[in-house]
Structure 1
Amino acid sequence: MGASFGGYLITREVGRGGSAVVYQAQSPEGGQCPPVALKVLDEQHRTAAWQTRLGREFEIAATLDHPGIVGMYRHGPFWLAMQFLGGGPLTRLQATGDRLAALAQIATALDYAHHRGIVHCDVKPTNILLPQDFPHSGAVLTDFGSAHAVVDDVHRRQPDPEVSLPYTAPEILLGKAPSAATDEYALACTAVELFTGAPPFVADDAAELVDAHLRHLPPPLPNTFGAATRTVDLVVERAMAKYPARRYDSCTEFVTELSRAIASG
């Protein structure tokens, strides 16, 4: 490695997505400063539109000061420096208690963002990371590249966000504006994947997956929770209701009901 951006010295690659690479990097201050995560647009995506998108990601996340939301430090034309989380993805958690604790922490972070007019719009397991000292420090929501500010509905609408189909709520597929309930739906899909190894709907092509989100109830869970499984199914069904108004009033309420259902087994 050894390359640098804005004085941040890259030490290793830690992740790669469709438009950017994430590196572990050393702060310009050096010394005992903790490492940072450096997100760098790849060569093909260093266009004006993608640079604007990256800058907006930084600006939205930087307005949110919450331990469950990734901290932002600095950004340049095609890079941004943020909090480094070295504990791996959410899916590495094996204990039911740890999984529920992480989901509750992310629910709290989402509710915090929603109360400030921000919808994440891309909640999924790969966008939830763990610190090395989890559970002492909680799970953290990352990647606000698709985030939506509710004020945009009044003044200006952003282009339709890129979607991660296995976690996308019906209203987004129908071209409607996202809301807090949109993130709740995605969090429910994430919870199902965390406990079963796969999101609620799995299909061979995009059209089939879209149809499932629009028309089908989430399939019953395997007998993961014994006698409590049907109760858990009902909680997930409500959080994934086709109409946003029929879902729980908050992400925290959903995870609280999910925890209560699992504990009833």
Structure 2
Amino acid sequence: MPTPGDVVAGYVVDTLLGRGGTAQVFLAHKDTQQVALKVLNPRHRNPEDINRLHREFELAQQFSHPRIVTVYECGDDWLAMQALDGGSAKDLVGTDQSWIIPIKLTALQQIAGALDYIHDAQVVHCDVKPSNIMRARSGGAVLTDFGIAQELSFADGPRRPVVQTSLPYAAPEVLRGQPVTAATDQYALACTAVELFDGKPPFTARTAMKLVDLHLNATPWPISYRHKHIPRAFDSIVAKAMAKDPLSRYPTCTEFITLLTHAVT
């Protein structure tokens, strides 16, 4: 993997920003342009992961939205994209100070708008979670990582792709192998909202099998019982966004988060 000072496809590596399961992300620059440079780990430079990286680039490239990451160019094992300097929404998780509540709600509102935008373009993100919501120091949240996103035109085809989602945020229909829809992202956004305000996702378990069972069969525990500043309406609004039947969720992510915002403020 590159180290500070190394040059990758003309980009000078400045510092490591973060590590993921398949790649590392570096702050880098080319002339005066600063970018986030995603580089696949050596053991993930295989056809499957390279195709996923290229697909991430191709999908993100078709969007023009202030709350969706801008991608610049892509090589065999690297992707240059918009550099964001405010960390991720993970940094907001579980912080109870009153001054940070509007920041959490604003981030959720912005990501809800981004999700509705891609849904209108017939794309489902399939991996909404705090670590895929980046923030700028100047304010504002940005949706990133379209590596497992699905186009709705293919999501219900005869050779429907298997969605490799993050279990703590996985909608029941994904776990059942059913088609993904815009409501799939809404479920994950609801899990994300719970994590931001409660410090953990709505379902946690010691084993993957138990976690799957909870998503399929359990009702989320009301977090208003643990947090005095959270009204009971928060729980009922989240419960609808996490309905086991996708058709029972809200029509849009924006409607869901708007109701949540009105309940909390």
**TM-score bucket of the superposed structures, by smaller chain:** over 0.9
Q: Secondary structure of 2:106's partner?
A: helix
Taking the aligned partners of 1:169 and 1:252, their CA distance within structure 2 comes to: 18
Structure-1 residue corresponding to 2:109: 104
How far 1:3 sits from its partner (Å)? 1.9
Contact 1:10/1:23 (CA < 8 Å) preserved in 2? yes
How far 1:223 sits from its partner (Å)? 3.6
Structure-1 residue corresponding to 2:208: 206
Letter in 1 for 2:169: Y
Q: Is the alpha carbon distance of 1:156 and 1:23 closer, same or farther for their aligned partners in structure 2, counting shifts above 3 Å? A: farther
Percent identical residues: 49
RMSD in angstroms over aligned alpha carbons? 1.5
Letter in 2 for 1:198: K
When the two structures are superposed, what TM-score results if normalisation uses the length of structure 2? 0.93
Letter in 1 for 2:210: E
How far 1:96 sits from its partner (Å)? 0.8
Q: Is the alpha carbon distance of 1:102 and 1:227 closer, same or farther for their aligned partners in structure 2, counting shifts above 3 Å? A: closer
Structure-2 residue corresponding to 1:53: 52
Q: Secondary structure of 1:109's partner?
A: helix
Aligned equivalent of 2:18, options 15, 18, 29:
15
Letter in 1 for 2:75: G
Alignment of 1:34-53 (within 5 A): 35-53=34-52
Q: Is the alpha carbon distance of 1:154 and 1:209 closer, same or farther for their aligned partners in structure 2, counting shifts above 3 Å? A: closer
- Consecutive unaligned residues of structure 2, counting only runs of 5 or more, are none
Alignment of 1:1-265 (within 5 A): 1-27=4-30, 30=31, 32-33=32-33, 35-93=34-92, 94=95, 95-134=100-139, 138-153=140-155, 157=159, 159-223=161-225, 226=228, 229-263=231-265
Q: Deviations over 1:159-208 (max 9, x none)?
A: 31221100000000000111100000000000000001100001000000
Q: Secondary structure of 1:185's partner?
A: helix
Q: Secondary structure of 1:15's partner?
A: strand
Taking the aligned partners of 1:50 and 1:98, their CA distance within structure 2 comes to: 34
Letter in 2 for 1:56: R
| Greater mean deviation of Cα atoms: 238-247 or 224-233 | 224-233
Aligned residues: 256
Contact 1:225/1:262 (CA < 8 Å) preserved in 2? no
When the two structures are superposed, what TM-score results if normalisation uses the length of structure 1? 0.93
| Greater mean deviation of Cα atoms: 226-235 or 71-80 | 226-235
How far 1:257 sits from its partner (Å)? 0.6
Contact 2:224/2:234 (CA < 8 Å) preserved in 1? no
How far 1:229 sits from its partner (Å)? 2.3
- Consecutive unaligned residues of structure 1, counting only runs of 5 or more, are none
Taking the aligned partners of 2:156 and 2:212, their CA distance within structure 1 comes to: 28
Taking the aligned partners of 1:208 and 1:118, their CA distance within structure 2 comes to: 30
Q: Deviations over 1:122-177 (max 9, x none)?
A: 0000000101211xxx2000000010011114667463122110000000000011
Contact 2:224/2:230 (CA < 8 Å) preserved in 1? no
How far 1:226 sits from its partner (Å)? 3.5
| Greater mean deviation of Cα atoms: 5-14 or 146-155 | 146-155
| Greater mean deviation of Cα atoms: 157-166 or 95-104 | 157-166
Q: Secondary structure of 1:152's partner?
A: helix
